[in-house]
Structure 1
Amino acid sequence: MSSATARTGATARPGGHRKHPPRPDLRALRDALPEAAQGAVADYERHLSLERGLSPHTVRAYVGDVVSLLAFLTAAEGEAPARSLRDLDITQLRAWLAGQRTAGAGRTTLARRAAAARTFTAWAHRTGLLPSDPGGRLAAPRAHRTLPGVLRADQADALMTASASGAADRNPVALRDRALIEVLYATGIRVSELCGLDVGAVDFSRRVVTVVGKGDKERTVPFGVPAAAALSEWLEEGRPELVGQRSGSALFLGVRGKRIDPRAARQVVHEAVAAVPGALDMGPHGLRHSAATHLLEGGADLRSVQELLGHATLATTQLYTHVTVDRLKAIHDRAHPRA
């Protein structure tokens, strides 16, 4: 294994830039819904948060889409009194999506809103709010899935070397930054997962960390010797210098002693990567993608990478990772009888 392996919608503007359409005031739309619709939204929000365990960000996005849909339904054709939720059918769903497209929503946004509508109508049917599930027939444009840039293996090594050099003076923040970068690249975990880690999640004897991912699903992710060394130094020398009354059991701390937040972690990564000659600007997501790519290039199989990344389906891993053309050619030359 190599050293690297061990570690909304928009409208177009001239010049290729994209201008996002104005966002509606979802709180005002929600408050203006009929009482029954407001109750349905509240129940659905609790379902997403408590029963499905989705992140607050995902819950807000799904609920916002449903509020938009119900506001469209109740105002359809200016009818009075407002339509009932039970009137929701495939025609209404398609008209709502068409309105979103006309307002400038892009393919990715339309795909997400269609998915949100399908999730809502399936739930509404199960709970008796809808006599049938019209969302099962709702189609939307496929979202464009663009892969983020990745570091080359030598650039990843340069990043780790630079972060280690920066921590040579034993400054507690530098020790933290080095450990943070090493862990992100070694494990490929999400920045939200990193920020949620507690000290007790790290098992040095087995060199694994216990991560709580999307949907409160727990998984165990290994890390290598360099990350273990960086973590040890941070816990022994750096963290005690930053710990305070509000630190709790958080593994990584901000400069004021509280659990580090994703924005601060992203800034650490952006600044560290910017110091690597020729490297693309990237944050924690880029390190996650780099780790997955380097694992594949080092010989890891997709199923293993899926488990490490915490993807629910292999299809997500296949979209999220890519194998270099050279590796594909090597596999073809080795395995195909007519190579």
Structure 2
Amino acid sequence: MEVERAVDRFLRHVAVERGLSDNTLAAYRRDLARYGDHLAASGRGAIEDVTTADVHAFLLRIREEDGAAASSAARMLSSVRGLHRFLAEDGVVPDDPAHEVTPPKLPMRLPKAIGIDEMARLLAATEGDDPVRVRDRALLEVLYATGTRVSEAVGLDVDDWAHVPDGAEGAGSMVRVLGKGGKQRLVPVGSYAREAVEAYLTRVRPVFAVRGTATPALFLGPRGARLSRQGAWLVIQAAAERAGLAAHVSPHTFRHSFATHLLTGGADVRVVQELLGHSSVATTQLYTLVTADALRDVYTTAHPRAR
């Protein structure tokens, strides 16, 4: 089978069977077009003729000749491996030549959190009686109280907030979050977030809701539609600027700070893993490195014989 036909077959498969987003499909298409060019330059017209050496050569080329970052090279190799795995499983080729090719090791990036005092300043920057400010305060309090991703927060419905599991006291004691892969989790909510959301639900959401079509969304824009991820990002940036923290605050800062502050306060890493919705504790353990750095800094500063 020609390489181009094989790629088209794979792309149709991931589009229909896996239901990938348009952006993800576009990324696959770009990566595999680049891979196809490499194979053509190497004289490989048929997908059956591709060898493990060809895949290694592609990885070497994009890293050394094209100067691709490790993360970009890893993504492109993932696309290539997906292609060959599919073709082997579908019986188009007898084996998978990309199976043994490993991606470049990615540098470990520690999560960036802000301090408790800085978080307090950020939340205080949303104070006010203006309806949008009331909504913004509720959103930011929820982000910090629950550690949800921004996409999860704007995806909340009113029923998710009012969810009361067995044994819990009062609406809003826990929020039901729909995470990656459609997995649901329950996250406790503190009093500050509960009060902020109740104020928003009572005074603001009904006013916003009548301006648009009926929607179950918890967080609405002034025109009555569900608040978008971009809208939430703008809310965060505006609050960060008012608090003087704009240079190093992003939507994920709330999630990172939630986890870091919990672990610093003595929370078990397995509990934090459950709250964040991480499938692997190894991901959550990155935050323990952050808190270890903080402990080391305090020790170095405070102990008379540390330096």
User: Shorter-chain TM-score category?
Assistant: 0.7 to 0.9
**Once the two structures are superposed, what CA deviation does each residue of 1:277-302 show, in whole Å capped at 9, x if it has no partner?**
46752121011101110011011111
How far does residue 268 in structure 1 lie from its aligned partner after superposition? Answer: 0.8
Residue in 2 that maps onto 1:117: 80
Q: Aligned pair 1:258/2:221, yes or no?
A: no
**Once the two structures are superposed, what CA deviation does each residue of 1:113-140 show, in whole Å capped at 9, x if it has no partner?**
2233333433332222332222221123
**Once the two structures are superposed, what CA deviation does each residue of 1:139-166 show, in whole Å capped at 9, x if it has no partner?**
2321123234321111112222332x23
Residue in 1 that maps onto 2:291: 323
Residue in 2 that maps onto 1:187: 146
How far does residue 230 in structure 1 lie from its aligned partner after superposition? Answer: 0.8
Distance 1:193 1:226 in 2: 19
How far does residue 55 in structure 1 lie from its aligned partner after superposition? Answer: 5.8
TM norm structure 1: 0.76
The letter for the 1-side match of 2:155 is: G
Q: Aligned to 2:160, which of 177, 182, 201?
A: 201
Runs of at least 5 residues in structure 1 that lack an aligned partner in the other structure = 1-31, 331-339
SS of the residue corresponding to residue 274 of structure 1 reads helix
SS of the residue corresponding to residue 259 of structure 2 reads helix
Residue in 2 that maps onto 1:68: 34
The letter for the 2-side match of 1:214 is: K
Runs of at least 5 residues in structure 2 that lack an aligned partner in the other structure = 164-169, 299-307
Q: CA RMSD in A?
A: 2.7
SS of the residue corresponding to residue 48 of structure 1 reads coil
Distance 1:205 1:248 in 2: 20
Q: Aligned to 1:215, which of 163, 181, 200?
A: 181
Residue 316 to residue 113, structure 1, CA distance change in 2 (3 Å): farther
The letter for the 2-side match of 1:76 is: A
Select the structure with the greater relative contact order (CA < 8 A; seq sep ≥ 6). Answer: 1
The letter for the 1-side match of 2:157 is: D
Distance 1:263 1:188 in 2: 18
Distance 2:287 2:26 in 1: 24
Residue 112 to residue 175, structure 1, CA distance change in 2 (3 Å): same
Q: Aligned to 2:48, which of 76, 86, 104?
A: 86
The letter for the 1-side match of 2:221 is: G
How far does residue 320 in structure 1 lie from its aligned partner after superposition? Answer: 5.1
Q: Aligned pair 1:245/2:204, yes or no?
A: no
Is 1:66–1:116's contact at 8 Å kept on the other side of the alignment? yes
The letter for the 1-side match of 2:223 is: R
Residue in 2 that maps onto 1:301: 268
TM norm structure 2: 0.83
Distance 2:213 2:26 in 1: 27
Is 1:188–1:287's contact at 8 Å kept on the other side of the alignment? yes
Residue in 1 that maps onto 2:255: 288
Distance 1:173 1:180 in 2: 10
Residue 293 to residue 314, structure 1, CA distance change in 2 (3 Å): same
How far does residue 232 in structure 1 lie from its aligned partner after superposition? Answer: 0.8
Aligned residues: 288
Distance 2:197 2:25 in 1: 33
SS of the residue corresponding to residue 113 of structure 1 reads helix
Q: Aligned to 1:97, which of 44, 59, 69?
A: 59
